[in-house]
């Protein structure tokens, strides 16, 4: 189930906020946001296990880290990291537009200040797809150097950690496509769509932060 579908299902269940006589509307946490946070916490535990596995292998097999990490292209990976970090900036700009109810641009394409959620999310998607393309390119380079998933313990944990993260990024890209597509298929921008856009941004910022930690662990702490 995608992030957008989860958001819609939870919003339907939560229903309107009830009112308390003489006290105005009752306030409560956004159940979609709470559910997303709980789910992301479970994902954080998954990546924490990968981090622990990585450092355990590194402590037991230091000779592999000494030879294999020399093949990593740190400047290229750093540039790819910058691409993903910038994508989070575009995503947050899209969130602010979603919260204000502006779905699409109100001016010309070159008037960035007039862009809506759709344009900023399209730009986020492009940068995220570029990051994935960069990761695929790096994999191809390493395979050409003889570093595959089954080469040794180092290569196995490298591909597992970065590969699972790449799968998470791909999932976020799919969610962006669904959100962007619905801006073309619906006549009225609803609270349901706004909620889906916002919780997807939580997920995207999460995979961004996780990659920064992975980059530091794999490429800097060699």
Distance (Å, rounded) from C-alpha 119 to C-alpha 140? 32
From residue 112, how far is each of 49, 51, 90, 91, 118 by CA, in Å? 41, 39, 11, 14, 12
Hey, which CATH number is domain 3-220, 1.10.3470.10, 1.20.120.80, 2.60.200.20, 3.30.365.10? 1.20.120.80
Query: Which sequence spans correspond to the domains of the chain?
Result: 3-220
pLDDT of the chain along its 222 residues, tens only? 455 554 444 444 444 444 334 333 444 556 766 777 788 888 889 999 999 999 999 999 998 998 888 899 999 999 999 999 999 999 999 999 988 888 888 888 888 888 999 999 999 999 999 999 999 999 999 999 999 998 899 999 999 999 999 999 999 999 999 999 988 887 777 677 788 888 999 999 999 999 999 999 999 986
pTM summary value: 0.82
From residue 212, how far is each of 143, 209, 220 by CA, in Å? 23, 5, 11
Task: Give 27's DSSP letter.
Answer: P
């Amino acid at each position: 189930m995608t992030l957008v579908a989860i958001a819609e299902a939870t919003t339907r269940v939560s229903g309107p906020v009830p009112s308390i006589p003489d006290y105005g509307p009752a306030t409560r946490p956004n159940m979609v946001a709470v559910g997303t946070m709980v789910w992301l916490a479970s994902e954080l535990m998954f990546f924490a296990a990968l981090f622990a596995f990585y450092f355990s292998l590194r402590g037991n097999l230091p000779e592999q880290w000494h030879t294999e990490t020399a093949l990593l292209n740190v400047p290229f990976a750093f540039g790819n990291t910058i691409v993903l970090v910038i994508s989070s900036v575009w995503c947050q700009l899209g969130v602010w537009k979603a919260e204000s109810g502006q779905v699409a641009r109100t001016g010309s394409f070159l008037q960035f200040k007039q862009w809506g959620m759709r344009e900023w999310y399209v730009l986020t998607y492009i940068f995220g797809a570029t990051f994935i393309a960069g990761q695929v390119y790096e994999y191809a380079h390493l395979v050409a150097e003889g570093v595959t998933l089954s080469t040794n313990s180092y290569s196995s944990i490298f591909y597992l950690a970065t590969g699972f993260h790449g799968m998470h990024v791909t999932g976020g890209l799919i969610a962006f496509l669904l959100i962007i597509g619905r801006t073309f298929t619906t006549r009225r921008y609803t609270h349901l769509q706004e909620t889906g856009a916002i919780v997807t941004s939580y997920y995207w910022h999460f995979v961004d932060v996780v990659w920064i930690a992975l980059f530091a662990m794999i490429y800097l702490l060699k």
